[in-house]
C-alpha cells in the first residue's frame, strides 16, 4: 500500500484531507440514498432538520443558523423545491419575503429519512471509534476562524 501523501504533509494536508473526506461522505451517502430509492441528496439533511424544528424559515435565517452562504442555500432549496420537498409561503407582513417549509411529501417521508439519518449517525460514530475528539477539534477550529480568519493568520506568520 502506498503512503498517503496528504497525511505525510501534516498540517499542510489538512484542508485537502477534509475535502477528500467530505467528498467521500457525500458520494457514498448519495449512493446509499439512490440504492434505497430515496429521492434526496445528502446535503439536504440539514435543511430537513431545520424546517422540521422551526416549521418555516427564510433562506437568510437558514443560512445564518447553518453558517453557510445565502447563494449556497438558494441553490439547495431550489433543488428541494423542484423535487417537491419544500414549498414557499409568502410572508403575511412583508410580501417581498418568502418562508420555506416542508411539503406534505417531505413530511410523509420523514419517518423513513429519520431511520436513514439515525443509521448514518451510528455509522459515523463507528468510523470515529465512538470518540467525540474530532467533533471537539472541529469546534475549536471553527471558533478560532470566527475570531481571526485563515488569511489573516497566514499573513501574521509571514512577518
Cα 56 from Cα 100, distance rounded (Å) = 5
Write down the architecture of domain 39-103 according to CATH: Orthogonal Bundle (1.10)
pLDDT value, residue 95? 73
pLDDT digits (tens, 9 = 90+) for 66-89: 999 999 999 999 999 999 999 998
Grid cell digits, residue 95: 410580501
Domain boundaries, the chain: 1-37, 39-103
Q: What percent of the chain has pLDDT over 70?
A: 100
Bridge partners, 92 (sequence order): none
Mean pLDDT, all residues of the chain: 94
Beta strand pairing call for 56-57 and 86-90:
unpaired
Q: Coil, strand or helix: which one is 41? A: coil
pLDDT digits (tens, 9 = 90+) for 109-140: 999 999 999 999 999 999 999 999 999 999 99
Please say if the pLDDT value at position 151 is more than 90. Answer: yes
**d(Cα 72, Cα 12) in Å, to the nearest integer?**
27
pLDDT band at 147 (very low <50, low <70, confident <90, very high): very high
pTM: 0.87
Amino acid at each position: 500500500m502506498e503512503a498517503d501523501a496528504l497525511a505525510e504533509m501534516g498540517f499542510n494536508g489538512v484542508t485537502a484531507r477534509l475535502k477528500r473526506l467530505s467528498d467521500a461522505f457525500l458520494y457514498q451517502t448519495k449512493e446509499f440514498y439512490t440504492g434505497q430509492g430515496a429521492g434526496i441528496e445528502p446535503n439536504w439533511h440539514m435543511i430537513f432538520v431545520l424546517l422540521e424544528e422551526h416549521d418555516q424559515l427564510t433562506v437568510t435565517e437558514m443560512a445564518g443558523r447553518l453558517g453557510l452562504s445565502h447563494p449556497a442555500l438558494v441553490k439547495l432549496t431550489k433543488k428541494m423545491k423542484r423535487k417537491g420537498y419544500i414549498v414557499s409561503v409568502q410572508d403575511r407582513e412583508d410580501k417581498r419575503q418568502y418562508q420555506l417549509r416542508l411539503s406534505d411529501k417531505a413530511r410523509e417521508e420523514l419517518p423513513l429519512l429519520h431511520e436513514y439519518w439515525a443509521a448514518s449517525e451510528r455509522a459515523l460514530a463507528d468510523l470515529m471509534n465512538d470518540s467525540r475528539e474530532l467533533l471537539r477539534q472541529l469546534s475549536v477550529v471553527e471558533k478560532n476562524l470566527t475570531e481571526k480568519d485563515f488569511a489573516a493568520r497566514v499573513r501574521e506568520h509571514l512577518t
